[in-house]
Amino acid sequence: MNVEQETRILGIETSCDETAAAVVEDGRRIISNVVASQVNIHAEYGGVFPELASRAHVEVIYQVVSSALSQAHIAAEAVDAIAVTRGPGLAGSLVVGMNMAKGLAFGSKVPLLGINHLEAHLYSTWLVPDEPEPSFPLLGLIVSGGHTELVLMNDHLTYQRLGGTLDDAAGEAFDKVARLLGLAYPGGPAIQQAAENGDPEALKFPRAWLEGTWDFSFSGLKTAVLREVRKRQPDIEAGVEAPRPGLPIADLAASFQAAVVDVLVGKTLAAAEEFQAREILVAGGVSANRPLRQAFQLSSKLPVRVPPLNLCTDNAAMIAAVGHRRFLAGQRDALDIDVLPNWSL
Ligand code: KG4
Ligand code: ZN
């Protein structure tokens, strides 16, 4: 029986290259979930082009939010709160979602809640209403395009940051290595696909364990891939995307991916044991990676929660899921809050 207050929260997300809005009931049941991806716009540049991202958000935000509300058969006035990503993310992109949320909150006389995007990735694992709620303490791994963070959650909305990446985020490493191998943007899915025909043990790439810390580092791995590529194509420039005839792309991709997966899984399981977590949460774009999901399921003694694929990458349902918790906790933000592009957890 649900003894908690029932809520319907409108979530809005524009921190990077997805314009998204969703209506979520009780922080767990998705009523509508609309995501307009800008991948096609940015693919040409091999990464997110901030100016173009903000412009694209402006063009579609109104329609995306309207669709989320109409698909949920609910008016803005009838939601309990509007939860919007306040940070971290691209400043110009965050502002678009924030302004939309403020306007709606003001016009509809509904509370505004500014939400941390990293926190929201963790809460994407709650959006599976058929499963029992995760039990605390939880060990969370956030692996996205901009972040790699290990956090301990002893309760809702409380975070102890254990460590994070010292250089590239896991997703960033996928994106950069994909570019180096001449694969399409976003790099994660492209590497996963290329790796399907490769041997993960073909090349012995380094694993940066950084013993004694809960931190990560992927720059040495990236350099090792570059070195292998240069051996075969000495004239290659880092970061220049081009077709790569003659490169063992599948083996390079599979070996790189295996190195990332080993470290992410190894350190997360060690931290879960050390801090006596009852369950593990893995979230963020890279949690869509199939070998990573399989490795967690195979090697963890604890239950591992990974969001459904469509909720791994950026979406607004996860923003609304946190909104539910924060609304119940009494958060109400003023209509003049600013975005926080460098907000940490
Ligand atoms: O969480 P997200 O959508 O955006 C940020 O908050 O950054 O994560 C995007 C990142 C990109 O770096 C992308 O390459 C990576 O997630 N990604 C993947 C996969 N799908 C997306 N990485 C590895 N394997 C995948 N299947
Ligand atoms: Zn994200």
Tens digit of each residue's pLDDT (9 = 90 or more) over 121-162: 999 999 999 999 999 999 999 999 999 999 999 999 999 999
Tell me the pLDDT band of 1, cut-offs 50, 70 and 90: very low
pLDDT of residue 244: 72
CB environment 104-124: b (16+ within 10 A), e (fewer): bbeeeebbbbbbbbbbbbbbb
Strands (E), the chain: 8-13, 18-25, 29-37, 81-87, 112-116, 138-143, 148-155, 158-164, 279-283, 304-305
Tens digit of each residue's pLDDT (9 = 90 or more) over 179-218: 999 998 899 999 999 999 999 999 999 999 999 999 999 9
Q: Which atom of ligand 1 is nearest to the CA of 257?
A: 23
Calculate the alpha carbon distances from 129 to 83, 85, 210 in Å. Answer: 20, 23, 37
Chain-wide mean pLDDT for the chain?
A: 95
pLDDT of residue 238: 58
Q: Percentage of the chain with pLDDT > 90?
A: 88
Ion ligand 2, residue ranges at CB < 5 A? 144, 314
- Per-residue DSSP letter, 2: -
Which ligand neighbours the alpha carbon of 37 most closely? 1
pLDDT of residue 302: 98
CB of 171 closer than 6 angstroms to any ligand 1 atom: yes
The pTM is what? 0.95
CB environment 56-78: b (16+ within 10 A), e (fewer): bbbebbeebbeebbeebebebee
Quote the CA–CA distance of 317 and 54 in Å, as a whole number. 21
Which ligand neighbours the alpha carbon of 284 most closely? 1
CB of 192 closer than 6 angstroms to any ligand 1 atom: yes
Tell me the pLDDT band of 233, cut-offs 50, 70 and 90: confident
Helix H or strand E segment including 196 = none
- 198 vs 233, higher pLDDT: 198
What is the distance in angstroms between the CA of the first residue and the CA of the last residue of the chain?
31
CB of 38 closer than 6 angstroms to any ligand 1 atom: no
CB of 144 closer than 6 angstroms to any ligand 1 atom: yes
CB of 145 closer than 6 angstroms to any ligand 1 atom: yes
Residue 245 has pLDDT above 90, yes or no: no
pLDDT of residue 237: 65
* Structure tokens that stand for 2 in this block: 């649900």
Tens digit of each residue's pLDDT (9 = 90 or more) over 255-304: 999 999 999 999 999 999 999 999 999 999 999 999 999 999 999 999 99
pLDDT of residue 2: 45
